[in-house]
Amino acid sequence: MPGIVIVGVQWGDEGKGKATDLLGDRTDWVVKFNGGNNAGHTVVIGDEKYALHLLPSGILSPGVTPVIGNGVVIDPEVLFAELDALSARGVDVSKLRVSANAHLITHYHRTLDKVTERFLGKKQIGTTGRGIGPAYADKISRVGIRVQDLFDESILRQKVEGALDQKNHLLVKVFNRRAIAVEEIVDELLSYAERLRPMVADTGYLLDEALQRGEVVVFEGGQATMLDVDHGTYPYVTSSSATAGGAATGSGVGPNRLDRIVGIVKAYTTRVGAGPFPTELFDEQGDWLRAKGFEFGTTTGRARRVGWYDAPITRYATRINGITDLVLTKLDVLTGLEQIPVCVAYDVEGRRFDEVPVNQTDFHHARPILEHFPGWSEDISGCRTFEDLPQTAQDYVLALERMSGTRISVIGVGPSRDQVIVRHGLVD
């Protein structure tokens, strides 16, 4: 079972970083296949806490070769800063391999991200402002700059000219900003070339060879199913393929190499940024959940929107990704609730929807139909087997499992590496 994909089920921040890290000692390679430094993964190892953005979480495990795949957008300055910060803490980052086909985020992508958001006013997406959307837009419009372009100055100059041609008109005439000089960008990009050069590789080839040797490769998704550009709550999404299909296109390995698809799902729901969120809480129970789960963004520090578990979303994610195993995280956060509400279906102006509606307007108007499950008050953070959990916690997990259509293989009961209950191993 060498190819394991990790994807978020909800709107991100489910604990994907911890799940990848958990597999660390059984893993040979970890590939980030989508997104960029919009991601924020917090991994806790003993007393040490690491916040990763652009690098895959597997970089924290000695012996693992981390890979940034072709589906990622890279801000080189952020990459180097993150590598330096990890090195300073004694993490070996020398094995990192970066795809020659990954696209680069530059100064004008960050600027465009901010000005277009401002321009949208009330309709803004609430992006992370890291230039992600504009960099992917350039990729799809065929005016992107790729890592390999850094090593041919004349090609690089031509491409930067091509990219800035229309953008400068836009910046000056629509957004009232100054034009960006081609040489400014070329000089900046060239300054990254020498440091990046030894990391650059044909990563699709390396991964295929590894898989043929039977090595374990984890494909670590950023963001999540409901933020996926095709399958999420468009247009309130990120600009990449965050679902399991993206693991193949974003890393250059065939889909038949993906043996196991692991969906990471929180025992409740959170969302950062704008867009529909049927189970969202606006009352003191929401404040309690946010404080108890410490739901503040790793990347932007924004308070996350919070709500109850949404079973139709997990069923939807199971179908879209072909999920074989779920990792249920943050069960410990629900400790102390007398009753735990779970959304089992939606009411859209008097019509019942058992599944996520395909029509965006319906989803915007969806109100949760809730079922209530008895809670527990015992501290569960020390539980290490399913039977250690109070009966009501076991019943809650089994109910979610029944409603979600896939087995819950791992349960998180705290932020640390060892605070998990493993019901079924993820690497076998």
DSSP string, 298-325: TTT-PBPEEE-EEHHHHHHHHHHHT--E
Q: Any contact of residue 8 with ligand IMO (CB under 6 A)?
A: yes
Q: Which is nearer to ligand IMO, 18 or 260 (CB)?
A: 18
Q: Which of 2, 7, 11, 12 binds ligand GDP (CB under 6 A)?
A: 12
How far apart, in whole angstroms, are the C-alpha atoms of residue 194 and residue 217?
28
- Least gap, CB of 317 to Mg ion (angstroms): 16
| CB burial string 385-414: b at 16+ within 10 A, e below | eeeebbeebeebbebbbebbebebbbbbbb
Q: Which residues contact 236 (CB under 8 A, 6 or more apart)?
A: 125, 126, 273, 274, 275, 276
Contacts of 327 (CB under 8 A, 6+ apart): 15, 19, 262, 263, 264, 265, 408, 409, 410, 411, 412, 426
The token pair that represents 191 in the structure block? 């300054």
DSSP state of 248: H
* 125 binds ligand IMO per the rule CB under 6 A: yes
* Of the candidate residues 222, 246, 252, 368, the single one contacting ligand IMO (CB under 6 A): 222
Told to check if 40 binds Mg ion by CB under 5 A, we report yes
Of 22-30, 121-129, 197-205, 349-357, the window that binds ligand IMO (rule: CB under 6 A) is 121-129
Using the rule CB under 5 A, give the single segment among 140-148, 228-236, 274-282, 291-299 that binds Mg ion: 291-299
Nearer to ligand IMO by C-beta: 99 or 128? 128
**Has 13 been annotated as catalytic?**
yes
- Count of positions on this chain that bind ligand GDP (CB under 6 A): 22
8 A C-beta contact, residue 40 and residue 3? no
DSSP letter at 261 equals E
**Residue at token pair 């031509």:** 158
Torsion of CA 199, 200, 206, 208, to 10 degrees: 130
Spatial separation of the C-alpha atoms in residues 68 and 56, rounded to whole Å = 7
Candidate segments 129-137, 365-373, 386-394, 403-411, binder of ligand IMO by CB under 6 A: 129-137
* Least distance between ligand GDP and beta carbon 416 (Å): 8
Q: Which of 3, 5, 9, 13 binds ligand IMO (CB under 6 A)?
A: 13
Of 77-85, 94-102, 123-131, 260-268: span binding ligand IMO (CB under 6 A)? 123-131
Half-sphere exposure of 172 (CA within 13 A, CB side): 10
User: Would the CA dihedral through 329, 216, 250, 324 be positive or negative?
Assistant: negative
Stretch near ligand IMO under the rule CB under 6 A, chosen from 126-134, 157-165, 288-296, 348-356: 126-134
Site string for Mg ion, 251-290 (x = CB under 5 A): ----------------------------------------
> Which residues from 39-78 bind ligand IMO, rule CB under 6 A?
39-41
CB 118: neighbour CB atoms within 10 A?
10
If one asks whether residue 22 binds ligand GDP (CB under 6 A), the answer comes out as no
Minimal distance, residue 361 CB to ligand GDP, in Å: 29
Collapse the DSSP code of 167 into the 3-class scheme (helix H, G, I; strand E, B; otherwise coil) and give the result. Answer: helix
Residues numbered 130 to 189 that lie near ligand IMO (CB under 6 A) are 130, 132-133
Q: One symbol per residue from 311 to 350: x for binding ligand GDP (CB under 6 A), - otherwise; what is it?
A: ------------------xx-xx-----------------
β-strand pairing of 97-99 with 48-52: unpaired
β-strand partners of 31: 67, 219
Find the helix or strand (DSSP H, E) in which 217 lies.
Answer: strand 217-220
Q: Show contacts with ligand IMO in window 242-301 (CB under 6 A).
A: 272-273
Residue number with CB closer to Mg ion (298 or 360): 298
333 binds, among ligand GDP, Mg ion, ligand IMO, none (CB under 5 to 8 A by kind): ligand GDP
167 binds, among ligand IMO, Mg ion, ligand GDP, none (CB under 5 to 8 A by kind): none
Residues across the chain: 428
Token pair, residue 347, equals: 């009411």
The minimum distance between CB 40 and Mg ion, in angstroms, equals 4
CB of 12 to Mg ion, least distance (A): 5
263 binds ligand GDP (CB under 6 A): no
- For binding to ligand IMO (CB under 6 A), which residues are involved? 8, 11-13, 38-41, 125-128, 130, 132-133, 222-224, 227, 238-239, 272-273
Binding residues vs ligand GDP (CB under 6 A): 8, 12-18, 39-42, 44, 298, 329-330, 332-333, 412-415
Catalytic residue positions, numbered: 13, 41
